Amino acid sequence: MNRIVGAASLVFCIFSSVTAQTPSPAALPPYPKPRTVSQTDTYFGTTVADPYRWMEDLDSPDTKAWVNAENTITADYFKPLTFRTALHERLLKLADYERFSAPEQHGGRYFYSRNSGLQNQAVLYWTEGLRGVPHVLLDPNTYAADGTVALNSVSVTHDGKLAALALAEAGSDWQKIIVRDVSTGKDLSDVIRWTKFGRASWLHDGSGFYYSGYDAPPEGDTLKAANFGMKIFFHKLGSEQKADPVVFARPDNKELFLFGGVTDDGHYLVISQAQGTSPNNELAVLDLQTPGAQIQRVITTADATYAAIGNDGSRFWLYTTVGASNGKVISLDLKEPARDHWKTILPEAKGKLDSASLVHRTLIAQYLTDAHSNVELFSEEGKPLQTLNLPGIGSANGFDGRRDEAETFYTFTNFTTPGVIYRLDMKTMRSEVYREPKTSFDRAAYETKEVFVPSKDGTKVPMFLTYKKGLQLNGQNPTLLYAYGGFNISLTPAFSPTRIAWLEHGGIYAQASLRGGGEYGEAWHQAGMKLHKQNVFDDFIACAEWLMAQKYTSTPKLAIRGESNGGLLMGAMLTQRPDLFGAVAAGVGVMDMLRFDKFTVGWGWKADYGGPSDDADEFKAIYNYSPLHNLKPGTHYPPTLIFTADHDDRVFPAHSFKFAAQMQQDQAGPAPVLIRIETRAGHGGGMPLSKRLDVEADIYSFFLHELGAQ
């Protein structure tokens, strides 16, 4: 039900602080009863109430009191669940295995990260040569006792002598870039602040780097204020940040994300310009070898994705979706960049071309076939060379390198295989295992199958199912259904040690690739965005109903989970089909769809959601599914655990705060509605392992208890 303000609903009871609500006969937790205010907004003639607007002030005494009261209730819920201790211990054991990232080579030195097992943050190492002695370059665990400082990105000079390291604190998207001498481990004086999302890109001679940044936000508002007007700066080593010149800006459009990268040969700076999170972009280049050169606008219309793969002088290979929903590779020459001079190298294929790289004068094309990887190798002119023999159905990622290098590395994973790193010799085209994790569970005890579920309109939705061999189809299996469905993001098979604990309890893990994602190209993405967002929810409902119809599970045994845009999905499921699920976990969700664009970089999501204040049709579509505005008093909602973090400056925590407060008020059934607010954490990236395992232990304990599966 939409909360449209009428004469009666304009009057709210005002409380000066947070008080306790008397428990009902149904033994509900004593939820706080936060005050309400008579805040209303009008959108295209529709007046909408926002009684918990004050929760957007995270530092107010009332908000802090409400957060403390809610965390106390949630902690009290878990105290009687004695099995949680054993579950947490099992999660610790499952997570305690050595794991690495694929190495990158710069100047004969190899750089990679390693976690010995239970370290809060992975440590960055380097070696002389591939098999050299490891040296620690940066250990984030030494920056904060609670492990809340994370290394977000690493950018190394061409000769391997200097590294620009982007650090983030307490889960924030804001990064601080420092520069470290690789040999000595000592930091230079250079420090860059107020940068997000991008990474430093060095000049070929290592004298400085380009980075994307913002003006400093208002003091005290760093985690809330909207971030507009991204610019590309150049930092010369040894200078102060305030002296960094702006290399590129777009004052005509403050809602553009701008990112720049130097080509491997050091000849050009390639600049991408995208409207928010849209996959479509403009492209420009700056000739770094010609003094006084002006920026050349190569692609001036953001009608598709254009991503530089590599170059040979002025000739560029680009990944693009122009005229190809599934993606293709073209080449163009900066001397004749007009579209009628473009050449198709890899035409659009049946499967989605997810990405491509250029190593050893070979195009490595990573395709998705029904949401899992297929890798093909081609000559620079598009001649087929080889199909990479992957070890099974799963996800292959990596394949980084330069056009003149003779090796690349990639990682293969699936639901029961932790990331195995392979080295691909580009001369022989042979792969060999470089590093393989050793884990403490029996992979052979489980199996994975892929099914295709017809949605409401007949569209086939792929879904992976993983479970113990010998599963009985009796409708009584505890099942966790996970999905995302947005922003052109593809959900493919991936390993999580915490999910193994679920499988060991006899659970089924189901992962659905909904419309709105990128699994089947841009057409699949567009079928789940803006005015078509309801397709995403219909797809998820269809997958849940299919699991029941096929006797995998039933409503009392079905848990669902999603984070971020997937948290929005959970909110929509709670409001559209509260009868269908046995338990729900909604993480860092976009719950107030009328105000998502008011905070930090939320405005960028209008590319996917539409603008609630910009377009009447988009407002109507958004208002019809916005979780906060479709909660209904007197509804029997299923057991629900909402989780967020106090430093989330991606999806502002007030989304979850307001949704939880309203849902607790509207709950008419006996099931708990809880919210868990993590401290010194953000949207999820960079969260220390100890905190992550605590969160996971709570979520899985909640599911097991509410489904009666512990």
Residue 77 one-letter amino acid: Y
Handedness of CA 462, 467, 473, 478 (dihedral sign): negative
Rounded to an integer, what distance in angstroms lies between the CA atom of residue 104 and that of residue 110? Answer: 5
Q: Which of 564, 626, 656, 701 is catalytic?
A: 564
Q: Which two tokens stand for residue 423?
A: 């080295």
* CA 611 to the chain's CA centroid: 21
Rounded to an integer, what distance in angstroms lies between the CA atom of residue 39 and that of residue 54? Answer: 9
Please check whether residue 580 is in contact with residue 573, taking contact to mean a CB–CB distance below 8 angstroms: yes
Rounded to an integer, what distance in angstroms lies between the CA atom of residue 462 and that of residue 452? Answer: 4
Element at 447 (helix H, strand E):
strand 446-454
Strands 187-196, 174-181: pairing is: antiparallel
Please check whether residue 386 is in contact with residue 399, taking contact to mean a CB–CB distance below 8 angstroms: no
For the question of residue 564 being annotated catalytic, the response is yes
* CA 303 to the chain's CA centroid: 24
CA within 13 Å, CB half, 3: 26
Q: What is the DSSP letter of 556?
A: G
Q: What is the DSSP letter of 595?
A: S
Please check whether residue 558 is in contact with residue 545, taking contact to mean a CB–CB distance below 8 angstroms: no
Q: What is the DSSP letter of 336?
A: B
Rounded to an integer, what distance in angstroms lies between the CA atom of residue 476 and that of residue 465? Answer: 15
Strands 231-236, 208-213: pairing is: antiparallel
DSSP-assigned letters across all residues of 386-429: EE---SSSSEEEE----TT-SEEEEEEEETTEEEEEEEEETTTT
CA distances from 351 to 182, 324, 522 (A): 42, 11, 12
Q: Strand pairing partners for 614?
A: none
Rounded (10°) CA dihedral 80, 587, 583, 709: -50
SS3 655: helix
Q: Strand pairing partners for 353?
A: 367
Rounded to an integer, what distance in angstroms lies between the CA atom of residue 49 and that of residue 68? Answer: 25
Rounded to an integer, what distance in angstroms lies between the CA atom of residue 607 and that of residue 612? Answer: 12
Burial class (CB in 10 A: 0-12, 13-18, 19+), 339: exposed
Alpha helices in 558-631 (DSSP H): 565-576, 606-609, 616-625
Q: Which of 372, 505, 647, 683 is catalytic?
A: 683
Please check whether residue 611 is in contact with residue 645, taking contact to mean a CB–CB distance below 8 angstroms: no
* CA 474 to the chain's CA centroid: 35
Rounded to an integer, what distance in angstroms lies between the CA atom of residue 441 and that of residue 328? Answer: 40
- Give the Cα-Cα-Cα angle 226, 229, 235 (nearest 5 degrees): 120
Cα Rg for the chain, rounded, in angstroms? 26
Residue with tokens 């993606």: 327
Element at 354 (helix H, strand E):
strand 352-359
Residue 545 one-letter amino acid: E
Residue 589 one-letter amino acid: G
Please check whether residue 92 is in contact with residue 108, taking contact to mean a CB–CB distance below 8 angstroms: no
Cβ-proximal residues to 124 (8 Å cutoff; 6+ apart), any chain = 111, 112, 113, 136, 137, 138, 139, 151, 154, 165
Q: Which residues are catalytic?
A: 564, 683
